[in-house]
Amino acid sequence: MNWFAIIPLIIFLVIIFLIGLYASKYVQSSTSFMQEYFLGERSLGGFVLAMTMTATYGSASSFIGGPGTAYTMGLGWVLLAMSQVATGYFVLMILGKKFAIVTRKYKAITIVDYLKSRYNSSVVVILSALSIIIFLFSAMAAQWIGGARLIESLTGISYTSALFIFAISVLVYVTIGGFRAVALTDAVQGIIMFVGTLVLLIAVIIAGGGIPNIIADLHAENPNLITPFGAEGTLTPAYVSSFWILVGVGVVALPQIAVRAMSYKNAKSMHRALIIGTIVVGFIMLNMHLIGVFARPILPGIEIGDKVMPLIALETMPAWLAGIVLAAPMAAIMSTVDSLLILVSSTIIKDVYINYIRPDASHQVIKRMSLGVTGILGIIVFIMALDPPDLIIWLNLFAFGGLEAAFIWPIVLGLYWRTGNKYGAIASIITGVGLYTLSDLLPMVYSKSEYLVSILPNYLEIFNNFFKPFGMHAVVMPVIVSFFAYILVSYLTRKKFV
């Protein structure tokens, strides 16, 4: 066991736990339990708001997978990652003050709440609650696996014990502290991410003998590594640009992000969050992915991308410092998981249970149910992460794109286009999620049937041209089609049902 790496991790967990305890006081004393537990009574200030958005968004994929891919692909992948700077200002500007005003008027505390009041349709409510539960539950499981693997590789304890430590620490503070605990711990985790990546980047640059030296080494190994096109020249401009939809502007439709756009106190907090958020997101993404690229000449030949981060930290820094810096990806994973947990829990309690099962539930019942559901959800995710079913892994791949395709137009056009109605929203959700999952499902199913393959042997090319035109990411086409579905259907049904 590596005690030097374990001690900073333990200190980190203790701090997070204390914040949970602090936040739980608000939950106990609040007059409106649900507003507090699921939304922190809309009291976030600018700094916490910016940090919780960034930290929720920066997950295992950006902290472990991202640098790993950058290691293999070179500067082209850093270019791709920089499309995420847009999330720092775009989400808050687009949902903006309108969302803050409207959700206050509706007294909405979840995204589904907002959709329910805007469209007055139980079909919209059920479709959206289902998408959130299915997709985010899978995303959560995948993040837990990432968290446990990281503890395992850092400390040398077994995967199961690592998962246990991870699960208990997240569950405790989320269950007792609710949204406020999530946001406050996110702020601490965001600071750790910010500082951790900076320290590690500096250590890597020093170990590599300065930036010019590192770039020269990369150029000598493979000139493509310092072009925008990736090590094998496979990153086309259309493909890279399409990530502006997936990880840039599309993020506005991720429920765990959008819900934060209704949690802040006033216009002043929003203004501060815009500036801080842009700086923090851009800084973390740039540094994080540069670390991956710069690690290549220092530690060549790492086969598994996910190991680049831990290995390079242990290589370039003393163990105790590496332990502190590696709390950063840990923080990234935790801050995503906690937000997903509270969101899925709020969807089950507020959107399903209170809407359809017990609208007259008493304050006490809701309180006990909320704490219970959050805890039970955590336990189910824990069991799934012990031996993850293939379905979860598959669904996780679609989680973000699927939610974006489902919600972007019902949320955004619902805010700004008065003619938009429930039929448009339903059409948009179905076409968005449907096309996006089909883009993977169809080629998979098709390839299994010999008969179908024999009548159309070049089916892959046809599917690719249809679902991924110009080599773009599969999320683009569903987002565009669901836009037209929303507009067209809303327009056609505008007079029929008033």
Which chain residues interact with another protein by CB under 8 A? 75, 78-79, 82-83, 85-86, 88-90, 93-94, 96-98, 100-101, 104-105, 210-215, 219, 223-224, 226-229, 237, 241, 244, 248-249, 266-268, 271, 274-275, 278-279, 282-283, 286, 416
Q: Which is nearer to another protein, 147 or 208 (CB)?
A: 208
Q: Which two tokens stand for residue 421?
A: 């109605």
> Rounded to the nearest whole angstrom, what is the least distance from the CB of residue 219 to another protein in the complex?
6
Instruction: Decide whether 149 or 260 has the Cβ nearer to another protein.
Output: 260
Count of CB atoms situated within 10 Å of the CB of 18:
12
Residue 177 or residue 277: which is nearer to another protein going by CB? 277
Q: Which segments within 212-344 are labelled E, that is strand?
A: none
Residue 402 CB, shortest distance to another protein, in Å, is: 22
Token code pair at residue 102: 């409207």
CA angle 474, 478, 482 (to 5 degrees): 170
To another protein, the closest distance from the beta carbon of 417 in angstroms equals: 11
Any idea what the Cα angle at residue 56 is, between residues 98 and 46, rounded to 5°? 50
The minimum distance between CB 282 and another protein, in angstroms, equals: 4
The rounded distance, in Å, linking the Cα atoms of 371 and 367 is 6
Q: Which is nearer to another protein, 20 or 190 (CB)?
A: 190
Separation CA 103–CA 63 (nearest Å): 32
Least CB distance to another protein at residue 275 (A): 5
Q: Which is nearer to another protein, 112 or 290 (CB)?
A: 290
Minimum CB separation from another protein for residue 488, in Å?
Answer: 22
Q: How far is the CB of 227 from another protein (least distance, A)?
A: 6
- CA separation for the pair 484, 409 (Å, rounded): 10
Q: Among residues 92, 8, 6, which one has the least CA distance to residue 57?
A: 92
Burial 165-178 (b: 16+ CB within 10 A, else e): bbbebbbbbbbbbb
Q: Which is nearer to another protein, 92 or 312 (CB)?
A: 92
Q: How far is the CB of 296 from another protein (least distance, A)?
A: 15
Compute and round to an integer the Cα radius of gyration of the chain. 23
Q: How far is the CB of 445 from another protein (least distance, A)?
A: 36
425 Cβ contact list (under 8 Å, min separation 6): 115, 119, 121, 124, 409, 410, 414, 486, 490
Q: Which is nearer to another protein, 281 or 433 (CB)?
A: 281
| Per-position b or e across 252-280, b if 16+ CB within 10 A of its CB | bbbbbbbbbbbbbbeeebbebbbebbbeb
Count of other CB atoms within 10 angstroms of residue 17: 18
Our CB check for another protein shows the closer of 249 and 321 to be 249
Indicate the residue among 265 and 307 with the shorter CB distance to another protein: 265
Find where tokens 């959107």 sit: 351
Long-range contacts of 129-134 (CB under 8 A, 24+ apart): 129/347, 129/351, 129/352, 131/402, 131/403, 131/406, 131/407, 131/429, 131/433, 132/255, 132/343, 132/344, 132/347, 132/403, 133/344, 133/347, 133/348, 134/395
**Closest separation in Å from C-beta 496 to another protein:** 27
3-state secondary structure of 265: coil
SS3 (DSSP) at 44 = strand
Cβ(142)–Cβ(298) below 8 Å: no
C-beta of 291 vs 340, nearer to another protein: 291
CB of 295 to another protein, least distance (A): 16
Of 283 and 446, CB closest to another protein: 283
